[in-house]
Chain A
Amino acid sequence: MKRLIEAIDLVKHFPVGDKKRLHAVDGLNFHIEAGETVGLVGESGCGKSTLVRLLTRTLDLTDGQVRFHGHGIGLIPARAMADHPMRREIQMVFQDPTDSLDPRYTARQTIAESARLLTDMSGSALDRAVEETATHVGLPFELLDRYPHQLSGGQKARVGIARAIVVKPRLLVLDEPTAALDVSVQAVILQLLDRLKREMGMSFLFVSHDLNVVRLLCDRVLVMYLGQIVESGPAREVFARPLHPYTRALIASLPGGLAGGQTTDADLLIGGDPQSPIDPDAHRCRLFGRCPRGVERCHTLAPPLREISRGRAAACHFVGPTEREAFVDAALAMHNIHVDPARRAALTSEFNRVAEMARLVQAARLPGDTLPAPQYRP
């Protein structure tokens, strides 16, 4: 697949006086492929919003590159971006549907404005495009002439999405698009996004701290902590078996767990607050001090983000592929078989299932058994 947008050693520092610098984004490398949905998760203050502003080019970079379809766009000044032809390729859906709509514009005007400014459509072609988009996002025509205060939360969210996709961008950045919605409405909006993704073939960057939503909607997930990516990989795999202690803590913190009804695993939780992002020690792991495993090495040598198994990466000294994953990889390599990450995940989970059955069979006790059940080693 083709890389749509790519960040190379992306850095953004903000001066905070006294010659100190706040490291909001500190050397990020990642890419989003065409048609892919990538989730970005992390606590508030970890640099998610800064990263979004760097990618949408509304903020100038300190260092590094942003490439869109192979063309460097990192050097376009943020001020010039509004008139740049790139503007229509990357669009954004904002967090609060109420705050991000102009109260004095009707839904139609809001949607039309972005098309009028960014494309050469006008007159009846523009009207047609607005109505087409409204149909696409499930907004009835009779609502188009209403003002934001006359629309419900879900309808406003649809207007916000319509405004972004009317210019047919190739990358849609969504910043917590469902955080302000009730659960009853959230489900419809998520399904709408899922449908748009399949119908329009856009790439999504989905920023959220609702892990359950990311798990359901995204193909791949990036976990950010204090300006750095600490883990990345296919969403299903990352949620099923998080590698980095921070990702584990995030997942363990979910009320009800991922499957629902489980109790929180207290051992995995992390306490305390993150380190200060102002001039952090470059030789120390950013999670040091909160991490349940921090050792001497974490203090003196910051772990880089490295590939752990195919498609999965983590920045921690203590993670490696599991024996089973290594086994699947080795078996595939031996027969020279190339599979995509999803298939590999499916193979590994099938292997896990079989291993689990074997364990159950071995641990089973029959009436009259006197010896202790043998311990199964995978």
Chain B
Amino acid sequence: MNSLLEIHKFSLEFRTRGGTVRALENVSLELLEGGSLGLVGESGSGKSVLSFAVLGILDAAARVTGGDIRFAGQDLLADNGAAMKNIRGRELAMIFQNPRVALNPIRQVGRQIEDVLLRHTDLRGSKARERAIECLSEVRIPDPERRYSAYPFELSGGMCQRVMIAIALACQPRLLIADEPTTGLDVTTQAAIMRLIRDLGREKGMATLLITHDLGLAREFCDRIAVMHAGHVVEIGPTESLFKSSAHPYTAQLVLATPVGQEQLENLAAIPGNLPDLRRNDLPPCRFSERCEQRSEACASALPEIAIAGNHLVACHNPRMGKSA
């Protein structure tokens, strides 16, 4: 399969009054057409910033300091913004974290779907309205004609999330970025939303980048997972391989800290320490080394990229080989 999204040695920093925050460093990852990649890590690890970079909606304080992002062969960073406006919303779409905040509170939800259609397609008037209603029914919103004229406050959290998905999918994008699409939703709704994203992805051959801190969710819905820590991708590989033979000490600890599948509370192990302050000038090459139990002298030198198996890569001098978490 062809690769759809390619991020190569991408680095990004924020210049703030408190110093330069090195938010992302040498981030590389690849997403195949129709594939699904999970991006997991603690809050502050750079997951959302990376997705904003892909969409070209970064904060004004952000500076790209290296690397490139390619979408279907096109260099997204070289673009001055005009071409991006045609891609964003049509080929690349995003589901934002909090639907109540992301939706316009004083605009009917159907109208908000139409806005996307008017910008990117030739549909006008009643045709656009019909398509918007169709979008609502595609995300299994009951009674879509009536819900078309509902305002976000009239809908439940799960319904708002579906509207967000409908907006994202209105133009049948080739890549959907879902940033914590189910936080704050109940488990029953979460399951329904995730199955919806997966089924629509399969039907339309859409690739999905799922940003989450829930390892269980990523495990169930993604065929590959990238683990991020403090702006680095520390490990990336096929889901089962990553869980069964976690090579990076951080991944292994993340798995142990997750209550899913644990029998006893005592087995849960917290990860000691915090993310390092990314404003520091003396950040070690491996940003996990200060929290790591397997630290050695080699950790002071540049990070390696070791292949555990075919496409399972780890950025660690002392990877855990052949051990299961």
Contacts and interface: CB of A to CB of B under 8 A. Distances in A.
A276 B265 CA distance: 37
B219 A256 contact: yes
A189 B48 CA distance: 26
B260 A272 contact: no
Given A187-B270, A255-B190, A256-B220, A216 B215 contact: no
Contacts of B43: 182
A152 B274 contact: yes
Interface stretch (B26-34, B251-259, B315-323): B251-259
B257 A184 contact: yes
Interface string A31-69: 000000000000111000000000000000000000000
A260 interface: yes
B190 A272 contact: no
Interface residues of B, number: 42
A211 B264 CA distance: 14
Contacts, number: 113
A337 interface: no
Nearest to B190: A253
A264 B257 CA distance: 22
A255 B219 contact: yes
Interface residues of A, number: 42
Interface in B14-58: 42-43
A281 to B, nearest CB: 20
Nearest to A246: B188
Contact of A190 (B157, B158, B186, B265): B265
A266 to B, nearest CB: 8
Contacts of A273: 156, 158-159
B283 to A, nearest CB: 19
Nearest to B217: A255
A259 interface: yes
A291 interface: no
Nearest to A251: B187
A43 B219 contact: no
B265 A250 contact: no
Interface of A: 43-45, 152, 182-188, 190-191, 194, 209-213, 215-217, 249-250, 252-261, 263-264, 266, 269-273
Closest 5 CB pairs of A and B: A260-B261, A256-B216, A253-B191, A184-B271, A212-B259
Interface of B: 42-43, 140, 142, 156-159, 186-192, 194-195, 213-217, 219-221, 243, 253-254, 257-262, 264-266, 268-271, 274
